[in-house]
Amino acid sequence: MGEAPAFIVDDDVSNGLLLKSKGCETIISMGCNRTFAIGAMGNGSDSTIGVLIFEKSTSEWVIPTVLGMKPALSKGHSAIVLDEDRILVIKGNSTSDDCFWFLEVNTAFVREQSARLGTEVVAWSKGVVGEAQIPVVISGPSGVGKGTLIAKLMEDFPMMFGFSVSHTTRAPRNNEQNGVHYHFTERDVMENDIQDGKFLEFAAVHGNLYGTSVESVEMVTDQGKRCILDIDVQGARSVRASSLEAIFVFICPPSFEELEKRLRARGTETEEQIQKRLRNAKAEIDQGTSLGLFDNCLINDDLEMCYKNLKKLLGLSDGSAKANNLSAPETVHVPLEHTISKVDQKILINCTTPQQEKPASNMFVLDLSSIKGGAPGRTRGLNLYEAGPSMTGCNGFKTAS
Ligand SMILES: Nc1nc2c(ncn2[C@@H]2O[C@H](COP(=O)(O)OP(=O)(O)O)[C@@H](O)[C@H]2O)c(=O)[nH]1
Ligand SMILES: Nc1ncnc2c1ncn2[C@@H]1O[C@H](COP(=O)(O)OP(=O)(O)O)[C@@H](O)[C@H]1O
């Protein structure tokens, strides 16, 4: 559990939306029963951010199990309670690609993990500014053309899509690069990482272990791109059961004979491996087309036609309307000294220093009405924009004292 953080607890914690920041420590109340302290744990350069919970009914401090990648410690943060299930923590002196963090305290994931571990649990999830495009899971039997379709998508929309690089214990093919096509790894290393909870899903496929690490999905999301996962049907089922929201697409061959022809023509497998893949293909097609697991099934007969249909279901048929929206948002710097206030799902961040002449140009609105995802993984869909004059006065927003 670790050492208790050296928090300074203020008496003034009764207001649910209260922000109280003393150097590294932030104290925030949630409902009438619990107060959260977020601040430095450890000493000097070894300090990391820690969390303590004060249970008012028992007057006791509880050290929760903290899940997820946590933010680096900063000299000050502001915080605000959202919907009674998570706390938005804004790191001072940081840029918008790393300053918005959510501490989940009562989301479905946290409740599930708390029941599993039998302890109080909280989970960090970093907020990503930008359009909330949910990941795309693509499955289908070996040789059906998944890789070919994904490569076309990545080539035509490089700013929009990013590929989740899986881990596998199978040997690389001649044209495959480590870290690009797969992270080629040893079985015992991968099994340890699975035990440590680093994988979103994993499965034994054609005699090898394959898996998607949480990090591989988060890395794509951090770039503001829509994540594509090329995983088998078992993996798709695991992702469906996880809290990662995604769209599920199954690619089907026009016939079994054509699948066999493509696999042989690719020339990357031995005869034995081809036989194994063909045997597995039958079960995969059965499951992929009949379980209700997939949102869409595309038949890859004519490649161009299938690609066109894939683009259509991803909302790209009109050319690139959505792709253009995805240009990386401008980076905003949030200084150490800032105040925040909340109206509905909008947070006004006031970065104005007393010397500044045009305060409005230094106020931003963080709109959380379209957020998606959360722990495990990133919280996407944060919308950040400069506050207009109507938002910075008495119209809706009250500036926190
Ligand atoms: N569950 C799971 N399956 C994966 C993952 N990465 C790849 N696969 C699947 O493993 C199977 C074999 O992939 P691969 O060895 O690259 O052969 P290919 O499908 O014939 O190109 C395919 O069905 C992939 O979709 C992963 O991270 N998790
Ligand atoms: N619609 C198609 N018609 C004919 N050949 C195809 C089609 N789609 C893909 N291929 C070819 O089939 C082989 C297998 O495709 P690939 O993308 O590697 O499949 P997967 O990733 O599903 O294993 C490749 O040689 C590819 O060029």
Model ipTM value: 0.98
How many other C-beta atoms can be found within 10 angstroms of the C-beta atom of residue 169? Answer: 19
Q: Which residue is it, tokens 């963090």?
A: 101
Residue nearest to ligand 1 atom 11, measured at CA: 232
Q: From 363, 369, 249, select the one nearest 300 (Cα to Cα).
A: 249
Distance of CA 160 from the midpoint of ligand 2 (Å): 23
Q: Is the CB of 266 under 6 A from ligand 2?
A: yes
What b/e sequence results for 116-127 when a residue is b if at least 16 CB atoms lie within 10 Å of its CB, and e otherwise? Answer: eeeebbbbbbbb
Give the model confidence (pLDDT) of 216-232 as tens digits: 998 888 787 899 999 99
Q: What is the DSSP letter of 70?
A: P
Distance of CA 206 from the midpoint of ligand 1 (Å): 9
Residue nearest to ligand 2 atom 12, measured at CA: 262
Give the model confidence (pLDDT) of 168-194 as tens digits: 999 999 999 999 999 999 999 999 998
User: Do 27 and 14 touch, CB atoms closer than 8 A?
Assistant: no
How many other C-beta atoms can be found within 10 angstroms of the C-beta atom of residue 286? Answer: 11
Residue 15: what pLDDT?
34
Q: From 354, 288, 346, select the one nearest 146 (Cα to Cα).
A: 288
Q: Is the CB of 234 under 6 A from ligand 1?
A: yes
Distance of CA 262 from the midpoint of ligand 2 (Å): 6
Structural domains in the chain, CATH included, are 7-131+329-391 (no CATH), 136-313 (3.40.50.300)
Residue nearest to ligand 1 atom 5, measured at CA: 231
Q: Which residue is it, tokens 């997820």?
A: 68
Peptide bond into 389 cis (omega under 30): no
Q: Which residue is it, tokens 């990648």?
A: 69
Q: Which of 34, 170, 262, 266 is catalytic?
A: 266
In single-letter form, the type of residue at position 132 comes to A
Q: What is the pLDDT along the chain (401 residues), one digit of tens a residue?
A: 333 344 434 444 333 333 333 445 788 888 888 999 998 876 666 678 889 999 999 999 999 999 888 898 888 889 999 988 999 999 999 999 899 999 999 998 899 889 888 999 999 999 988 766 789 999 999 999 999 999 999 999 999 999 999 999 999 999 999 999 999 999 999 999 988 778 889 999 999 999 999 889 988 887 878 999 999 999 999 999 887 889 999 999 999 999 999 999 999 999 999 999 999 999 999 999 987 899 999 999 999 999 999 999 999 975 544 443 444 457 889 998 899 999 989 999 998 766 655 554 688 999 999 898 888 888 888 999 988 765 555 434 443 33
User: How far is C-alpha 396 from the geometric centre of its chain's CA atoms?
Assistant: 31
